[in-house]
Amino acid sequence: MSPDSDVDMPLASGLRPSRTTLSFETLLVGLFFVSGMPALVYQLMWERALFRIFGVNIESVTIVVAAFMLGLGLGSLFGGWLSERPRLRLLPLLAALELGIAAFGLGSLYLFDYVGALVTGWPLAGIAFACLALVLVPTLLMGASLPVLVGTVARRLGRVGDPLGRLYYSNTLGAACACLLGIVVLFPFLGMQASIAVAALVNAAVAAGALAAEFLLKPAAGHEPMSGSSPPAVTRPPVSFVAALLIAFCGGAVALGYEVFFFRVFAFLTGTMAPAFPLVLGAFLAGLANGARRAGGLGGSDADEAGEARAFGVVLRGLAGGAIAGLVFLPLLRWSAPLNHALAMALGLAVIYLAARNWGLLLPYLADRSIAADRTAGRRLSYLYLANILGSAGGSVLTGFVLADRLGLAGMAAALGLAAGLVVLLVGRGMRLPPPSALIAPSRRWTWGTAAAIVALICLEAPLSRGVIDAIQFDPHWPLTDVVENRSGIVTVDAEARVYGGGVYDGQFNIDPMSGTNLIERAYAVQLYRPDPERVLVIGMSSGSWAQVIAGLPAVRSITIVEINPGYARLVEARPMVASLLRDPKVRLVIDDGRRWLNRHPDQTFDLVLSNTSFHFRANASNVLSLEFMDLVRRHLRPGGVLFYNTTGSVRSLVTGCVAFPHGLRVRLFEAVGDAPFALDRERWRRSLLDWRIDGRPVFDLSRPRDREVFSEYLALADDPADPGIPLQSRAIEDCADILARTAGVTPITDDNMGTEWRTILGFPP
């Protein structure tokens, strides 16, 4: 007998594992925990980089996420193939995988930018292929590790569920911890490239630990080739592998459908702040991790009848609990948000964790009941894992593309609850667990009672969730009068005609200069800084009020509006003051990501680019505030052209414009920047204001006292006095020289440092 032969004996033989075996497993669990942390950092940073290239509209988001998941699925097949190679050693292989991921990570952002510049004009199918090609190598390496490790440890322990549960737990928990680390430390202070460098360093540390263990553990467990000396005796799994594949597919679809749903709600609850996705993902991953760990300890396929019945009941009740958690999510937020928004966020994350914890039971349980702990364990696990990933990709696409576009939040919750209930029935009635024991029968009968409870909650979901959008809106002022839900997001309007995108103030329906509720004078001031523009680009339509004002300029020949969410158009069409905008022959509305549209149309040039986008702290806001974006806009400006953009009170946004362009003026919260000096001609602007017509009606009627008063206030913008007693930042107009003088040391926004997106939640100034 070889020195390592008793290490390969399964626990089913009655032998206790040696201390060496336990230390080897603990080593793998620790290494796999640490390796999960850089994987999550890569995912978030790579997704951001790809969104910057291909846009952050729903099509691009879905393509990027699906490419990641497909890469992981293909990686699992690769890992399953590796697990049967007789001459490969486990720890050196793990080190090689980690080093390969690190090497790719270090150059990934440069590669993405290079490839993105080549394929930006490709059709949707080509972009999907490019996304998959870009992330295929690293995700293949990431996905390969789980089947390899589980396949090896399963042969040692004589079962699959326990090592899968423990390793999946450690890796997923590491990823969940990385979410918190990224929000608090990496993303706010280091930026994209430095965060990736830290992740690569962690990969290298895991590789070094694995290689060190390879030599320190000689000749103990872990040093022998992965396939061992001889296959141990195993017990035939009680569940059909085909049935397990089907259940894994359906379970993955429901679980990821819930993740998409939870994020959609939580993003609205938090105003789509950048940390919203990592928070949801962290809670979801922590839940999956703990669910997997619990499932791994439920007993193997060789458990006695009572043990099998207990395990079956735990999983069945857990899945039902996950379905119920998803159905009570909206009613709970509906009740708690009016009391305290922070309380609603905490309760929401708790429900997300509980739902994921219950669904995390499924995969290890299926693996334990359908895969024998022999040399094929890794390969068969890769098939099961692939089925789960394919289901997850399908569930995310179905939820994000179809359910979000056709159903409201309550409808999405009900549809997912129905799907979850069907999975519970599939597990409860479809799994053939011989013999048909009287101990198992009560759990199966219990499923009908649970199904009835789920059906009742589905029927009550709409009335229990009525008014949930009003309740959870991040930035409420007045009761909502309009709600538009589609796959691109949620747009609302309150009783004061304020427009909210994703729960955050996004503008107001008003074109009347007599009413300054939305500071509409900034839109009229365009003529002061860029006289008589002929070609205009508007990025972000919102209420359409600004575009309607610009369309009234006699000199304007064409206006291209790029808006990412078609829901705004529905609202504009229903408001008489702006409805004519979309019927104006010189106006063209394009539904697309603004940055992507500019990249895909390098030949389009404009006299004026108006970027009335949302707050600097929202997810991906830096994409339209960074130095790189402004350089892109510059290439689309005609001689004398001006970029007029919303800084939303961010000092870094102001500084960025003054660094990107040689000339600039702050106009309240907006900034006008360009390559040519600004000449504020009071008389020219006076004539322009008098000639301005919207829908054939003059903007100012100087026969009315109120019009004369406001007209004088507008004219004063052209000669705002540089009174030394007035703080610079309080003046209506401020030039770049003064801005840079009072903001010395402020760092401009770049694609890499991501602006103020992550720092805002930590309380740092914008």
Q: How many CA atoms lie within 13 A of 598 on its CB side?
A: 24
* pLDDT at residue 158, rounded to an integer: 63
* pLDDT at residue 722, rounded to an integer: 52
Into how many domains does the chain fold?
3
Instruction: Count CB atoms within 10 A of the CB of residue 635.
Output: 10
Is residue 482 a part of any domain in this protein?
Answer: no
Alpha-helix residue ranges (DSSP H) falling in 55-123:
58-82, 90-119
Q: How many CA atoms lie within 13 A of 567 on its CB side?
A: 22
* pLDDT at residue 230, rounded to an integer: 43
Is residue 653 a part of any domain in this protein?
Answer: yes
Q: Can you tell me the distance from the alpha carbon of 323 to that of 658, in angstroms, rounded to the nearest whole number?
A: 52
Is residue 414 a part of any domain in this protein?
Answer: yes
Residues 117 and 628: beta-carbon distance below 8 Å: no
Is the domain of 634 the same as that of 728?
yes
Nearest to 506 by CA among 437, 574, 426, 571: 571
Is the domain of 398 the same as that of 416?
yes
Pairing assessment for the beta strands 587-591 and 733-735 based on DSSP bridges = unpaired
Is the domain of 91 the same as that of 46?
yes
Phi, psi of 280 (to 5 degrees): -65, -45
State which of 177, 210, 233 marks the end of a domain.
Answer: 233
Is the domain of 54 the same as that of 183?
yes
Is the domain of 219 the same as that of 262?
no
- Mean pLDDT in consecutive groups of 10 residues from the start of the chain, 766 residues: 34 38 70 87 87 75 79 83 73 87 92 82 76 84 81 66 78 87 89 94 91 70 43 58 88 90 89 82 89 76 63 83 91 89 90 92 84 76 87 88 88 92 80 50 61 82 88 80 89 90 87 84 86 92 91 91 91 91 93 90 94 83 91 94 91 93 88 89 86 88 88 78 55 83 90 86 73
Is the domain of 558 the same as that of 698?
yes
State which of 233, 254, 282 marks the end of a domain.
Answer: 233
**Domain of 348, in residue numbers:** 235-472
Is the domain of 240 the same as that of 316?
yes
State which of 451, 472, 493 marks the end of a domain.
Answer: 472
**What is the residue whose two structure tokens read 């997997």?**
292
Nearest to 151 by CA among 233, 252, 76, 235: 76
CA 172 to chain centre: 17
Instruction: Count CB atoms within 10 A of the CB of residue 553.
Output: 23
Q: What CATH number is given to the structural domain containing 539?
A: 3.40.50.150
Pairing assessment for the beta strands 558-563 and 587-591 based on DSSP bridges = parallel
Phi, psi of 620 (to 5 degrees): 65, 15
Is the domain of 742 the same as that of 754?
yes
* pLDDT at residue 723, rounded to an integer: 53
To 5 degrees, how large is the angle CA 198–CA 200–CA 387?
A: 120
Is the domain of 279 the same as that of 164?
no
Is residue 499 a part of any domain in this protein?
Answer: no
Is residue 480 a part of any domain in this protein?
Answer: no
Is the domain of 544 the same as that of 683?
yes
Peptide bond into 237 cis (omega under 30): no
Cα four-point dihedral sign 179, 184, 185, 187: positive
Is the domain of 521 the same as that of 655?
yes
Is the domain of 161 the same as that of 182?
yes
Nearest to 169 by CA among 252, 301, 325, 287: 287
Report the chain's terminal Cα–Cα distance, integer Å. Answer: 69
Q: Can you tell me the distance from the alpha carbon of 499 to that of 567, in angstroms, rounded to the nearest whole number?
A: 11
**What is the residue whose two structure tokens read 């040689």?**
662
Is residue 493 a part of any domain in this protein?
Answer: no
Is residue 229 a part of any domain in this protein?
Answer: yes
**Secondary structure class of 189 (helix, strand, coil):** helix
Alpha-helix residue ranges (DSSP H) falling in 675-729:
682-691, 705-716
- Cα 636 to Cα 630, 631, 641, 653, distances in angstroms: 10, 9, 9, 20
Instruction: Count CB atoms within 10 A of the CB of residue 598.
Output: 22
Is residue 691 a part of any domain in this protein?
Answer: yes
